[in-house]
Structures are given as C-alpha cells and as structure tokens.
Amino acid sequence: MERDKALALVKEQITEHRYQHTLGVVGTAIELAERFGVDKHKAEMAAIFHDYAKFRPKEEMKKIIETQGMDERLLSYNSELWHAPVGAYLVKKEAGVEDEDILDAIRFHTSGRPGMTGLEKVIYLADYIEPGRHFPGVDEVRELAKHNLEQALISSIRNTIMFLVKKNQAVFPDTFHTFNDLVLNNRS
C-alpha cells in the first residue's frame, strides 16, 4: 500500500493529536529501521497503522477479543492494552493489510512479547521515543537508541513497568515476560 493511502485511512480513525503522534512514530521507526537493519517499508506501514484502533469503543474491542480467539486475560487488565491486538485484526479486515510481520508489530506494540522480531522492537521503541513524547526518562532511552536497540528497549519497558507499579496498576504478564526475556538474553 502507498504511504499516502495508508495515512489517509488512519487519519479517519484517530484524533488530530494522535495523528501527529503517529507521524512522529513513522519518522522515528524509519530511522531506527535504517540504523538496525530492519525492512523500512514494513516499519513505515506498521508505524502508520499502530494506533488504528485507539479510539474504538471499549465494547466493540471487548467483543472482538472474545469472538476472535484473542487472549482473554487482556479483559482483566487496563483497556489501554486492547487497541494493539484489536488494531492488528481491524487493520487486516478494514484496511486489507495482509503482511503478518506488520500485523504482529501492531499486535505487540503495547505489551511486547518474548522473542520480539527486529520490526516489533523498532515499532515498540519508536512509539516510546518519538519526538512528541515527553515523559521522565525518555531522553536516556533516546540516547541508548542511537546505538543499542535491545538496551533502549529494556530501558523503555522498565520505565513502563515502574510507571504502572507506582500508580498501583496491574502489569500485564506479557510485559514482564518481555522484560525478562530481553534482560536474560542481553547480559553483558
């Protein structure tokens, strides 16, 4: 699919603010893909569509999770997690994206998963460090991302987990499993 066609499809689904975030993720994802040897076209497409389902009604997302055989544990956790797997489903169904690498990068962009592909790592990280993000610790992750994809990812997932824990929010198990997987496989 053409970049402009994809952007037009996404623009209809999300707010202007979220669209500006998406453009930030696209630029960052292409940079990271180039730096770390990941397919740039797939990175661009996954970035464009990553938050496609962000504003779907919760009831619609819940129904899709239940009827499409998705992980129902999601329903017990923060509904912010739902737009990632539901997005992968809707981007295929409504936008006609068939590439499973791209769909997986959308599916796992919020929780990550053990054994993430390079493309999945690039999208997770680009979502975290795009220029519009301003949370504490993001500059340190931006520095790490200049030369080490895995260390940058570990740092961003650690920040996310600590942020949730400090707010007394339950952490989805896959987020912990992703953190453990990366730490255990990147000990220096």
Kindly list the residues in this chain that would bind ligand DGI in the complex (CB under 6 A).
Answer: 51, 54, 77-78, 80-81, 84, 109-111, 127, 160, 164, 169-172, 175
In whole angstroms, the minimum distance from the beta carbon of 181 to ligand DGI comes to: 14
What does the block give as tokens for 65? 């999770």
Q: Taking contact as CB under 5 A, which single stretch among the options 57-65, 116-124, 126-134, 138-146 is the one that binds Fe ion?
A: 126-134
CA 183, 184, 186, 188 dihedral sign is positive
187: DSSP letter: -
Amino acid at 99: D
DSSP summary character for residue 72: G
Binder of Fe ion out of 28, 36, 51, 90 (CB under 5 A): 51
Nearer to ligand DGI, 24 or 118 (CB): 24
Q: For residue 91, what are its two tokens?
A: 């981007």
CA distance from start to end of the chain: 41
Q: Which stretch binds Fe ion (CB under 5 A): 50-58, 64-72, 143-151, 171-179?
A: 50-58
Q: Which residues bind Fe ion (CB under 5 A)?
A: 51, 127
